[in-house]
Amino acid sequence: MNKTWSTNVDEISKEIDLLVYEKAKLFCLREKGATNTLFVKGKTRLNNSDLLVLSHPEKNICPKNQCLFYYHTNGSPVRGFHCTPEKLVNGLLAVHYPKEIFEIQRRKFPRVPVARDSRVSFSLLNRHRFHVGRIEDISLEGARISGEFPVIIEKGAIVTPITLTLIPPYLRQPNETNIHIPEATVIRSIQDEDITKELAIHFILNELQQQEALERYILSQIKREEEKGGK
């Protein structure tokens, strides 16, 4: 799923400058599926080497001494890089500039499969009945859901409210991720007589906490799919 975006030193340096300027957040995918959110604080130099400085919530650096970060900036695909940590002091981590930055894929909002038993509950606009189904895949702005919904749901219908219950991709992650979506629009519908069997919905999350929770889940799923593909 990864594709090299750049190995050019100058281009990578400009990308790091952009992350510093935007005070971007990076998602650190640690061992056993844990995901931390780090914020870019600045850059520095040590022994003629360029270093990126990040906030770091943990007391220790990953044992393999190799960091993997993902990030997403407006108008660009999800990107990521591996880098070597240099020093962790007072909650600040300095890492060496990466030699390569890769893209997850070219689509702005990659769609990924979800862990088994992930489910959705929703209602239709001006309807009181709630429906429960399965989540097949998800992106930052949409989802594909399936089930045996005893109502015809047409393209363009408004779904409100929606709750996505996302099962963690790693067994060592005990907590489900719950995403509450005020409103979504049906962009595709598959029906069989009086039953709707599958829906594709589009939504916009305006709440920052919900955005970040969904981003973390998607990146964990991307990592899991890459690990499966490497076996």
Angle at 166 between CA 162 and CA 169, to 5 degrees: 165
Question: What's the rounded Cα separation, in Å, for the pair 78 and 160?
Answer: 28
Question: Is a pLDDT exceeding 60 seen at residue 38?
Answer: yes
pLDDT in tens, 58-102: 777 776 678 888 888 877 778 899 999 988 888 899 999 999 999
Taking only the tens place, the pLDDT of each residue in 145-203 is 999 999 999 999 999 999 999 988 765 556 789 999 999 999 999 999 899 999 999 99
Buried b (16+ CB within 10 A) or exposed e, 2-18: eeebbeeeeebeebbee
State the average pLDDT for the chain. Answer: 86
Residue found under tokens 């399936």: 146
Residues 6+ apart with CB under 8 A from 217: 138, 166, 169, 177
C-alpha 88/C-alpha 95 separation (Å) is 9
Q: Is 181 exposed, middle or buried (0-12, 13-18, 19+ CB in 10 A)?
A: buried
Residue 33: pLDDT over 80: no
Between residues 108 and 206, which one has the greater pLDDT? 206
CA distances from 134 to 33, 84, 99, 122, 126 (A): 23, 40, 40, 11, 23
Most confident of 36-40, 42-46, 106-110, 218-222: 42-46
Lowest pLDDT segment from 35-39, 106-110, 129-133, 159-163: 106-110
User: Which one-letter amino acid corresponds to residue 187?
Assistant: I
SS3 151: coil
Instruction: Tell me the pLDDT band of 109, cut-offs 50, 70 and 90.
Output: low
Beta strand segments in the chain, E: 3-6, 25-29, 35-46, 49-55, 67-71, 79-83, 85-89, 92-96, 101-103, 112-113, 119-124, 130-138, 142-149, 158-166, 177-181, 184-192, 195-202
- Backbone phi, then psi, for 19, in 5-degree steps? -65, -40
What confidence score (pLDDT) does residue 5 get? 92
Q: Are 120 and 143 in contact (CB under 8 A)?
A: yes
Q: Band of the pLDDT at 56, cuts 50, 70, 90? A: confident
